[in-house]
Chain A
Amino acid sequence: MHETRAEQVVIGGTLVFDEWRARPMTEADVDFAFNFLREEHVAYARTPAPPQNIEGAQAWVTRSVTTPSIVPWVLEDSTGAGAGFINLQNYDPVAGVTEVGFLVVPAARRRGLATKALRAVTEWTFRNLPVHRVYLVHDLTNTGSCKAALASNYATEGILRSARPGPGGIRLDSEIHAITRADFEKGYPIASRGGAE
């Protein structure tokens, strides 16, 4: 576990890619969060049990937007409807490292959104934050996230055995991917056309 040493809350920029965009999360996103976090696959992929009530969701949103080590975005489609979340977490400006994570609503899955959002956020991060390494951890069996990571130039680094405390006291294996600033600068075709505001 990283000791996170971010002190200032960072607000991400609004990123636009194809018909989608990512905008910073606000306190007002609580209803979307409430419904979304309870969606079957999302609930399953996250460790804490989904919020039981709107207060639980509110706490999650508040924590996301007020914690310095978290930089949260809401993904939206062209109509402005919520399509998912992506965020930096465990952001540590002193160590120059951050983790990235994302979730996509069922209706928007398998259309490249996770991949595009990940690329956009990765680019924004290297351009705007003192970060040298962005890593991504997913359940070993989560094909979608794994492919999105590979397609975004994140190298596979290895298997983290029993890394995630799953419900019921069982531990699940994870896989870790990461991209370094050097990888990023070597470049890969970037889909994002957005940038810092």
Chain B
Amino acid sequence: MELLGRRTLLFTDIEGSTALLQRVGHPQFVELMDRHHEIMRTAIRNNSGEEIRNEGDGFVVFFPDPLSGLNCAIECQRRLREGPWPPEAAISVRMGLHEGEIGFSESGHHGLALHEAARVSSAAHGGQVLLSEAARDSVGNLLPEETDIDLIELGTFPLKDLGPRVPLIQIAHPDLEHDFPLPHSSGGGQNNLPSQLTSLIGREGDADDVDELVRSHRLVTLLGSGGVGKTRLALQVGANLGAEFSDGVWLVELAPIEDATLIFDEIRRAMRIPDDGQGERTLIDAVHEDNVLIILDNCEHILDGVAEAVDLLLRECPGIRILATSREPIGTPGEARWRVPSLPTADAVDLMIERARLVAPELDVSEEERLVLNRVCRRLDGIPLAVELVAGRLGTIPIEEIESRLLDRLRLLSTGSRGYVPRHKTLHAALDWSYQLLTADEQTLLTRLAIFPGPLELAAAEAVCSDGALDEYDVMDLLESLHMKSLISMDWSRKPTMASRSEIVSQFAETLLDETSDRERLAARHADHYFELSEEAAVGLRRTNRTEWLDRIDAGRENLSAAYDWLAQNDPDRAAVFLMNVKEWLITSMSSAWLARVRDLAERDDVAPKTIAAVNALRAMFSGFFDFESTAIAASASRRAYVHIDTVVEPRERIRVMTNLAAGFRESEPEIAGKLAEQALAEAEAFGVESHLMATTLDLLTVHDEHHEMSKRLRSSALELMEENEEWTSVHPLVDGALAMHQTGDHDQALRWLTRAENMLPRVPQAGGLMTEDAKVWMIWSVLIRAEIGDTDTAILLAEDGLRAFGDGHVLYTKTLTSNYGQALLVAGRADEARAAFESTLELDDAEHYVSFAIASLGLARLDLDAGNLSDATERLMSIATQNRRAWVRARAHELLAACCMRLQRWDEAQTHVATADSLRRPDGFAVPPAFAAEAELVRNELEQRTL
């Protein structure tokens, strides 16, 4: 090997090229690629670059000097931005610039630097250019005095092969985009750790110790009294170790949970694993091979439950490590306990001054005053929370006064001769001290905030806490000042801004609220507010920005639960409406706890008939349609809802109830389902509110199955409505609609709808990334539709991406994708692989009413037929033809049976099967998919000749 020496390297890579390919199809993709290559090569030439490699969607280029590399990257991005590109097919490229030693041998270029450059570029987002430290260092001095180029330090990130923390630098230039999310750090997995906006003081050594402890023990518990900083330390450790856990670091907040049986649910939710109703198995099955760190924060109030959960997790999942914070040990064998020490006084003083400067930047502390603070911090036992509470006052109250007031308070608490004050009392005293210093309005607000069990939006505080005594317009300012005083913390990175409190402050506020007589009144207003929010969500969840709403509801879920529970107790009629309002969220989250709420309300007899109707229709929809409970329960809930439907008179509710009920009846009473759907649609049309008509139409698309006439009408009106209202579409109905169109022969339209649905997905789905439920649904049916129109390349590519990305999620998704993958393989003529896919579909679950069952069984029969195994094929097909409730499935079974009969030269029987299939498909009904059309034609032709 020959050493070429140091080189500047540019790595480029098209973002989401697989998805692009699938979106535009092969021919256009090739055109787009040509255009991309041309742009890149022009810029490379203009900047004296040497193209070393071109891997289809990316280039590796060497430059004689770093500045040329930099200029080339900027030129490429500028030209790419200018395009022009066809609509929805703009190409977005990520780039990484690096420098290092390169060698050359017969097999090509070598060197660690090549790998490193690849890592840097894969950390970038489309449109972004990132520099490594090496590239930055050498380009830095070369930049001219007067330049538009700016180098922005993004911070350090774990990048595989490059070390745990690597600095990354972004190029800023007027011609480039500059707003990007944080770089993809590929070292570790995902995490849900909140970003820490304040620095960690006096804990660096502690964090190192705990890092080591977590590396050597599977369960580590950080022990300490409230306010000592267990959570903050745990978060730091989580961030430090992020790169070592390939499946991520997950923070699970246990404080709001009262019921220990929900621990698994909470962990699952934090890890964004979909609920499939299997309780703890859902979680264990999903993570049993994963390499994850789970941080269980605030375990003390449900220690027994935590002990059981931890024990099970550690036993069943060898790759899991757990870091817990608790006031008491968990008590599981193997637990490594680490007591979080108080801050040494000097560090505590530093912390106090630094936090004080966040509020009062000008604050000056003399040597003398430092001595006073020393005494204060010692009296506060170095408890960080207490220190922070005091810090908030440093700018406004003279330091001496702080000391005297605080010491007075502590003296009152001291017991015994040596003036010993138990720690929790110290903290309480600090809280109390801090509370007493608040203005009356601040005190009132802090107390009232106790009615919120979890993080809240600021508007919620305004709505719930204000009254004659507390002006609504003051609430925002008061919140801000409570934030300044470290009593609550505001997260401005969220839209809308959220406020939250530490566990200690929550408990403190609880006791304050208990001393007032306000609780009931506030609870009612709290419920009112979240009911109103659910009304807004009902609309928001149906629109293009639905992801924002899903996030918003998720972030406020503790409040929504509390509000719902209050309503269920005190105002069940509104509770039912609330559930209907958040239906889309329920469908997406499929949270067992919420579905249990639906069930409980549905079974109550002491509620108004209209409520019985509303909530039973909802339950029926979930059970019949989403398999939440058995179909028998769906049938029974449907009947219960149906007999009371006329008591629902408010048109908006009535239409929703009918719509849900139509879905609920789909399995048990298809005739009635169809009639209800018609009626709901007619009433929605008469009601005349467009948003409502839209929602109804889209919901009803899913009931289409056996009712061609109506589904045709529904589809065309849905199409019309969506054409008029861009913001009124959502992925599910679009995909359902696409499938219906595909099945009835309108394949072009089906593809268009799929594209529309795809454009609504929050992010281009990528292998290895987390996929939203919407993205999964889109992918599952895209695969089938692509396969059946003969575009097997795309279908297979997409399915393979999906099978990797779905991971251990919901089995329903996995098996459906598997069956559709099988279909693609079958059409592509890859018989053995197709058989394996179909067999594994049926192994996952062989419930007959699923489409996946139909596709896999029909596919296997077809493979048997091809292999000449006629008796197996016939047996399988007969059972489908006589039992399956889907007309198109039975039709396809008859068509294959006809083919079997022809092999056996039983012409009459074959003729009968063909006739049956035709009548099942009906002229305007279900079409033979294009991929099978030729062979179906062949059978018919041959039969015709025979019978002539």
Q: Contact at A167–B645, with CB atoms within 8 Å?
A: yes
With A40-B639, A40-B640 already in contact, the answer to whether A172 and B646 are too (CB < 8 A) is: no
Q: How far, in whole Å, are A166 and B641 apart by their CA atoms in the complex?
A: 12
With A41-B639, A141-B669 already in contact, the answer to whether A167 and B675 are too (CB < 8 A) is: no
Residues of chain A within 8 A of B645, CB atoms compared = 167-168
With A43-B639, A169-B679, A170-B679 already in contact, the answer to whether A49 and B644 are too (CB < 8 A) is: yes
Residues of chain A within 8 A of B671, CB atoms compared = 140-141, 172-173
A97 CB to nearest B CB, Å = 29
With A43-B643, A49-B644 already in contact, the answer to whether A168 and B609 are too (CB < 8 A) is: no
Residues of chain A within 8 A of B46, CB atoms compared = none
Q: A43-B639, A44-B642, A169-B646 are in contact. List 6 more A-B contacts (CB 8 A).
A: A49-B609, A50-B643, A52-B609, A167-B646, A168-B676, A172-B675
Q: Which residue of B lies closest to A173 (CB)?
A: B671
Q: How far, in whole Å, are A46 and B645 apart by their CA atoms in the complex?
A: 13
Q: Does B717 contact A (CB under 8 A)?
A: no
Q: Does A171 contact B (CB under 8 A)?
A: yes
Q: Does B714 contact A (CB under 8 A)?
A: no
Q: Which of A39-65 contact B (CB under 8 A)?
A: 40-41, 43-44, 46, 49-50, 52
Q: Contact at B636–A40, with CB atoms within 8 Å?
A: yes
Residues of chain A within 8 A of B643, CB atoms compared = 43-44, 46, 49-50, 167
Q: Contact at B669–A168, with CB atoms within 8 Å?
A: no
Main secondary structure of the interface of A (DSSP, over half): mixed
Q: Which residue of A lies closest to B675 (CB)?
A: A170
Residues of chain A within 8 A of B646, CB atoms compared = 49, 167-169
B156 CB to nearest A CB, Å = 62
Q: How far, in whole Å, are A41 and B638 apart by their CA atoms in the complex?
A: 11
A-B contacts, 23 listed (Cβ < 8 Å): A40-B636, A41-B639, A43-B639, A43-B643, A46-B643, A49-B644, A50-B643, A141-B669, A141-B671, A167-B645, A167-B646, A168-B646, A168-B658, A168-B676, A169-B646, A169-B679, A169-B683, A170-B672, A170-B676, A170-B678, A170-B679, A171-B675, A172-B672
Q: Which of B669-690 contact A (CB under 8 A)?
A: 669, 671-672, 675-676, 678-679, 683
Q: Which of B574-611 contact A (CB under 8 A)?
A: 609
Q: Does B647 contact A (CB under 8 A)?
A: yes
Give B615-641 as 1s and 0s: 1 = Cβ < 8 Å from A's Cβ atoms. Answer: 000000000000000000000100110
B939 CB to nearest A CB, Å = 35
A42 CB to nearest B CB, Å = 9
Q: How far, in whole Å, are A73 and B147 apart by their CA atoms in the complex?
A: 99
Q: Which of A59-76 contact B (CB under 8 A)?
A: none
Q: How far, in whole Å, are A41 and B679 apart by their CA atoms in the complex?
A: 22
Q: Contact at B647–A49, with CB atoms within 8 Å?
A: yes
Q: How far, in whole Å, are A169 and B647 apart by their CA atoms in the complex?
A: 12
Q: How far, in whole Å, are A44 and B643 apart by their CA atoms in the complex?
A: 6
Q: Which residue of A lies closest to B680 (CB)?
A: A168
Residues of chain A within 8 A of B683, CB atoms compared = 169
Q: Contact at A166–B636, with CB atoms within 8 Å?
A: no
Q: How far, in whole Å, are A90 and B852 apart by their CA atoms in the complex?
A: 51
Residues of chain B within 8 A of A171, CB atoms compared = 675
Residues of chain B within 8 A of A168, CB atoms compared = 642, 645-646, 658, 661, 676, 679
A168 CB to nearest B CB, Å = 4
Residues of chain B within 8 A of A41, CB atoms compared = 639
Q: How far, in whole Å, are A166 and B643 apart by their CA atoms in the complex?
A: 8
Q: How far, in whole Å, are A173 and B674 apart by their CA atoms in the complex?
A: 13
Q: Which residue of B lies closest to A40 (CB)?
A: B639
The size class of the interface chain B forms with chain A is: 20 to 34
Q: How far, in whole Å, are A56 and B676 apart by their CA atoms in the complex?
A: 27
Residues of chain B within 8 A of A173, CB atoms compared = 671
Give A99-110 as 1s and 0s: 1 = Cβ < 8 Å from B's Cβ atoms. Answer: 000000000000
Q: How far, in whole Å, are A171 and B675 apart by their CA atoms in the complex?
A: 8
Give B223-248 as 1s and 0s: 1 = Cβ < 8 Å from A's Cβ atoms. Answer: 00000000000000000000000000
Q: Which residue of B lies closest to A50 (CB)?
A: B643
Q: How far, in whole Å, are A168 and B609 apart by their CA atoms in the complex?
A: 14
Q: How far, in whole Å, are A140 and B675 apart by their CA atoms in the complex?
A: 14
A171 CB to nearest B CB, Å = 7
Q: Which residue of A lies closest to B616 (CB)?
A: A40
B677 CB to nearest A CB, Å = 10
Residues of chain A within 8 A of B675, CB atoms compared = 166, 170-172
Q: How far, in whole Å, are A168 and B636 apart by their CA atoms in the complex?
A: 17
Residues of chain B within 8 A of A170, CB atoms compared = 672, 675-676, 678-679
B96 CB to nearest A CB, Å = 61
Q: How far, in whole Å, are A46 and B678 apart by their CA atoms in the complex?
A: 22
Q: Contact at A166–B640, with CB atoms within 8 Å?
A: no
Give B645-656 as 1s and 0s: 1 = Cβ < 8 Å from A's Cβ atoms. Answer: 111000000000
Give A164-197 as 1s and 0s: 1 = Cβ < 8 Å from B's Cβ atoms. Answer: 0011111111000000000000000000000000
B639 CB to nearest A CB, Å = 4
Q: How far, in whole Å, are A41 and B642 apart by their CA atoms in the complex?
A: 11
Residues of chain B within 8 A of A172, CB atoms compared = 671-672, 675
Q: Which of A40, A46, A166 contacts B672 (CB 8 A)?
A: A166
A34 CB to nearest B CB, Å = 12
A103 CB to nearest B CB, Å = 14
Residues of chain B within 8 A of A49, CB atoms compared = 609, 643-644, 646-647
Residues of chain B within 8 A of A167, CB atoms compared = 642-646
Residues of chain A within 8 A of B636, CB atoms compared = 40
Residues of chain B within 8 A of A166, CB atoms compared = 642, 672, 675
Residues of chain A within 8 A of B672, CB atoms compared = 166, 170, 172
Give B417-458 as 1s and 0s: 1 = Cβ < 8 Å from A's Cβ atoms. Answer: 000000000000000000000000000000000000000000
B604 CB to nearest A CB, Å = 14
B268 CB to nearest A CB, Å = 34
Q: Which 4 pairs across A and B sit closest by C-beta, in order of nearness?
A: A170-B675, A44-B639, A43-B643, A168-B645
A122 CB to nearest B CB, Å = 29
Q: Which residue of B lies closest to A47 (CB)?
A: B643
Q: How far, in whole Å, are A107 and B163 apart by their CA atoms in the complex?
A: 71
Most chain-B CB neighbours within 10 Å: which of A40, A43, A141, A167? A167
Q: How far, in whole Å, are A46 and B658 apart by their CA atoms in the complex?
A: 19
Residues of chain A within 8 A of B669, CB atoms compared = 141
Q: How far, in whole Å, are A171 and B672 apart by their CA atoms in the complex?
A: 9
Most chain-B CB neighbours within 10 Å: which of A140, A169, A173? A169
Most chain-B CB neighbours within 10 Å: which of A140, A166, A173? A166
Residues of chain A within 8 A of B678, CB atoms compared = 170
Q: How far, in whole Å, are A43 and B637 apart by their CA atoms in the complex?
A: 12
A110 CB to nearest B CB, Å = 15
Q: How far, in whole Å, are A43 and B678 apart by their CA atoms in the complex?
A: 23
Residues of chain B within 8 A of A52, CB atoms compared = 609
B772 CB to nearest A CB, Å = 34
Q: How far, in whole Å, are A142 and B539 apart by their CA atoms in the complex?
A: 39
A27 CB to nearest B CB, Å = 25
B550 CB to nearest A CB, Å = 31
Give A19-52 as 1s and 0s: 1 = Cβ < 8 Å from B's Cβ atoms. Answer: 0000000000000000000001101101001101
Q: Which residue of A lies closest to B638 (CB)?
A: A44
A56 CB to nearest B CB, Å = 11
Q: How far, in whole Å, are A43 and B669 apart by their CA atoms in the complex?
A: 16
A134 CB to nearest B CB, Å = 27
A141 CB to nearest B CB, Å = 7
Residues of chain B within 8 A of A141, CB atoms compared = 669, 671
Residues of chain B within 8 A of A40, CB atoms compared = 636, 639-640
Give A108-152 as 1s and 0s: 1 = Cβ < 8 Å from B's Cβ atoms. Answer: 000000000000000000000000000000001100000000000
Q: How far, in whole Å, are A166 and B671 apart by their CA atoms in the complex?
A: 12
A148 CB to nearest B CB, Å = 20
Residues of chain A within 8 A of B676, CB atoms compared = 168, 170
Q: Which residue of A lies closest to B658 (CB)?
A: A168
A104 CB to nearest B CB, Å = 16
Most chain-B CB neighbours within 10 Å: which of A40, A43, A168, A173? A168
